[in-house]
Chains A and B, each alone.
Chain A
């Protein structure tokens, strides 16, 4: 009964391939996010969806495309993978209550591009 679950946990692939990471939350939250953690452990937001609507789209290459089929799911598709895409990708979800917006994270997906 994991609250925010991501699959796969590890992803090893060749440069130029296309891959997807799936995320599901069972917390009933309206908002879901994707964050990237680089090799220096720095975390940066990539996207955010609220009730299937894109609300945050940071300066991320067009090769990254989020898709939210419903408010409990937010998937991340990456085209033409590059070496620099190697990182840990975290999904998170939250429900804002009077300005308080605590995000709960999935376990992360470690992507290695060879």
Chain B
């Protein structure tokens, strides 16, 4: 069975600094996707970045990059140049290619950006 683990319940970062949010996953299937979502205090779920298990390069989307280390089964999110608006809950998730898109989520990491 798939599993996602986020070991940091809460993180603090200084504005303009970079921060890494940890995510490890467990699956025996070779075909899967890894996702990061942001949930601000307003409650909506915002898609940030995607990494496929066969992608050779780490995914990047603006200030977000995904540090994909397949052998270690980790998919850490790196946010560069943190902004106050980055304060939110961040969820790592995974889905298998052949399971109809079912997302398995981690417990989340609450990020606070300090001015």
Contact = CB atoms under 8 A, between A and B. Distances in A.
B105 A99 contact: no
B105 A44 contact: yes
A103 B105 CA distance: 13
A56 B104 CA distance: 13
A33 B101 contact: yes
Interface in A28-86: 31, 33, 35, 40-45, 48, 50, 55-56
Given A41-B108, A42-B107, A99-B52, A105 B101 contact: no
A93 to B, nearest CB: 10
A43 B89 CA distance: 12
Range of interface residues on B (Cβ < 8 Å): 20 to 34
A50 B107 contact: no
Range of interface residues on A (Cβ < 8 Å): 20 to 34
A50 B12 CA distance: 40
B45 A31 contact: no
A55 B47 contact: no
B33 A100 contact: yes
A108 B101 contact: no
Contacts, number: 65
Nearest to B110: A41
A27 interface: no
A56 to B, nearest CB: 5
A43 B91 contact: yes
Contacts of B31: 99
Residue in B31, B97, B103, B105 whose Cβ sees the most chain A Cβ within 10 Å: B103
Contact of B101 (A94, A106, A107): A94
B105 A42 contact: yes
10 contacts: A41-B39, A41-B89, A41-B108, A42-B107, A55-B100, A101-B33, A102-B50, A103-B47, A105-B46, A105-B47
Interface of A: 31, 33, 35, 40-45, 48, 50, 55-56, 88, 90, 92, 94, 96, 99-108, 110
Q: Which 10 A-B pairs have the closest CB atoms?
A: A105-B45, A99-B97, A101-B101, A43-B105, A55-B100, A107-B44, A108-B43, A45-B102, A94-B101, A41-B108
